[in-house]
Structure 1
Amino acid sequence: MLKSLYSGVSGMKGFQTKLDVIGNNVANVNTVGFKKSRVLFQDILNQNISGATSPTAQTGGINPMQIGLGTKIGSIDTLHTPGSPMTTNVGTDLAIDGDAFFVLSPASGIGGYDLENMPTYLTKAGNFTRDANGYLVNANGYFVTGVVEDTNNPGEYLKLRIKIDEDTVADKKFVSYSIDTQGNINVVNEDGKSGKLAFNGTDYYLEENGDSPNIISLGTAIVPNPAGLKKVGNTMFEVTGNAVNTVGAEPEIGRIRDINGGQINSGVLEMSNVDLTEEFTEMIVAQRGFQANSRTITTSDSILEEIVNLKR
């Protein structure tokens, strides 16, 4: 049986996968925070017809002779290049100008540092809102993780939910708020008093001391290898052992200024990094590659037909 039949089949399968990836990229061209993927191919095993020989005093060297046996998917990479910014002028729409990710978590209880032992998901999609209880959440209801300094362990952070509702110490409602470039939440209460949102372990309150360790900042994270993150849907990523170099490890989570993650821009969203021109070009390449491999199969079939008909 001709090896070209199987080589053609492997090529068609590979280009089918490439078209699947391209189709997903194009479908998410307007998805906030989406990161596109690409397919890279590798050759499969080669059949050795003859090996290489070294030069001698009497003869020169001979190169090896090999027949390739087709192709396979080498990798499907996620490209974490920046997406284009889109201005929305909505205060809770956030974009990170840098390498950091926003941190999202479900919650197990009410109050306290209830995100400490919860799963962590990373995202570049900063289209956040406040729910009915005043908590900052994403479109799927996951809580945006905030951090405060751990006074018992300098340099460490405690994770908590961000509640922008009222100063429970002074019993005053917050009437307005904004998020600055460092991820701090600036609030104004009903008496016109302004400061930063803080948490003392039991209460959310307005803190006038700008250096207080109780000030809440949006938690952000940096991973050494963003391509090692696993997509889990809803424009979120799950940390893997190849993203942080340790199986089951958490990424470094902290204030964006302390982890050198860039800065946070409010009223802006980071859109998809999909380039339609590039995707359509790759689609043409994939289509032509699929057609060429199908022609290989057709030609091989014609040769086999001639062989079968030799006895007629």
Structure 2
Amino acid sequence: MLRSMYAGISGMKNFQTKLDVIGNNIANVSTVGFKKGQVTFQEMMSQTASGAQGSTGARGGVNSSQIGLGAQLGTINNIHTQGFRQTTNNPLDLSIQGDGMFEVVLVETPNGAGNTFVPINFDAAGGGNTAQVEDRFYTRAGNFYLDDRGFIVNSEGMYLVGFEYVDGNPVDSNAPGVLRIPLDAQSFNISTNGTVNYIDANGENQVAGQIGLANFANPTGLTKEGNNLYRESQNSGGVERVLPEESTSSQIISNSLEMSNVDLAEEFTEMISAQRGFQANSRIITTSDEILQELVNLKR
């Protein structure tokens, strides 16, 4: 009976964790770029009452007899499926159709940087006209802004990473940098391949650069850092920076945001399942307790 009680406790803990994840999913149903979590369980160790025996000339084989000792938490995965797109009519609201993530960095940009593209050196401290990297993250949240110098930043003030664009062609997808739209630009727009175009003070069309995307071999292995940001982990694989036009499955859609991929109908169904599972495991404990009480009452 004690084994069943501890098995019931393990089940209750697991379903409580599942309810925590479901609650977080529902709380972020309207969070831009949020990716829902999914909980899986796995069997805990088993106690072997009798081992397996092979067949002999006189009789056949016998299976082992094992008693399970409950369940334990298997994984909590981030599901990186596509969220629905919401139109905002803001040219700096960007959504990704397909794979990839925006790369944003905290950098010390050169003082008085007036160029539309400031290169980043990720491997060494910045010097001269190179920005010095302090930290970097990845996100599907595309709600960007222009800061007081015209750099494209997110709500945390982190710079959006892109690539230089010269004479109608991207320079090098292995040479990232931060993009800047001149303050005297009359207007600007962002195309589906990430190219940032603007009309300068003379009324001529110019290109500030091209927004890049970051791909990972295992995006579910990225570590959540809060504020819609992810960080590279040992199991995510290294970052591969690509241009949207190089990835036929990815496009950058301006004037729109990718919303959460949480499905409320699915979450409520999972909530009911977790609630009933919690109740069933609590019933195991009360039933085991009643049987123990009967055993105690045998001694009058």
Question: Is TM (by shorter chain) over 0.5?
Answer: yes
Q: Which runs of 5+ in 2 are unaligned?
A: 124-132
Superposition map of 1:1-312 within 5 A: 2-110=2-110, 111=113, 112-114=118-120, 116-117=122-123, 118=133, 119-148=135-164, 155-166=172-183, 173-197=184-208, 216-244=209-237, 249=238, 251-260=239-248, 262-312=250-300
Asked if the contact 1:12/1:294 (under 8 Å) is kept, the reply is: yes
Following superposition, the deviation at residue 57 of structure 1 comes to 2.3
The percent identity for this pair of structures is 46
RMSD of the TM alignment (CA)? 1.7
Q: Aligned to 2:57, what secondary structure does the other structure show?
A: coil
Amino acid at match of 2:55: P
- Amino acid corresponding to residue 192 of structure 2 in structure 1: T
- C-alpha distance in structure 1 between counterparts of 2:172 and 2:119, whole Å: 17
8 Å CA contact 1:83–1:271 kept in 2: the answer is yes
**3-state SS in 2 of match to 1:24:** helix
SS in 1 for 2:245: coil
C-alpha displacement of 1:161: 1.8
Q: What one-letter code is carried by the residue in structure 2 that aligns with 1:187?
A: Y
> Greater shift after overlay, 62-71 or 140-149?
140-149
Q: Is the 8 A contact 2:165 2:210 kept in 1?
A: no
The residue type paired with residue 131 of structure 1 is D
Q: Is the 8 A contact 1:105 1:115 kept in 2?
A: no
In 2, Cα distance between equivalents of 1:161 and 1:307:
73
Cα distance per residue 1:131-167 (max 9 Å; x no partner): 12211111111111122279xxx8553222211124x
Aligned length: 280
- Residues 160-188 of structure 1: per-residue CA shift (max 9 Å, x gap): 2211124xxxxxx2110000111111110
Q: Which ranges in structure 1 are unaligned for 5 or more consecutive residues?
A: 167-172, 198-215
Following superposition, the deviation at residue 35 of structure 1 comes to: 0.2
With the length of structure 2 as denominator, give the TM-score of the two structures.
0.89
Paired residue secondary structure (1:241): coil
Asked if structure 1 preserves the Cα contact closer than 8 Å seen for 2:145 and 2:153, the reply is yes
Question: Helix, strand or coil for the counterpart of 2:185?
Answer: strand
Deviations 1:95-135, CA, capped at 9 Å, x for gaps: 11110111100112324424635232111111111112211
Contact 1:14 1:73 in 2 (8 A): yes
CA gap 1:189/1:220 in 2 versus in 1, 3 angstroms: same
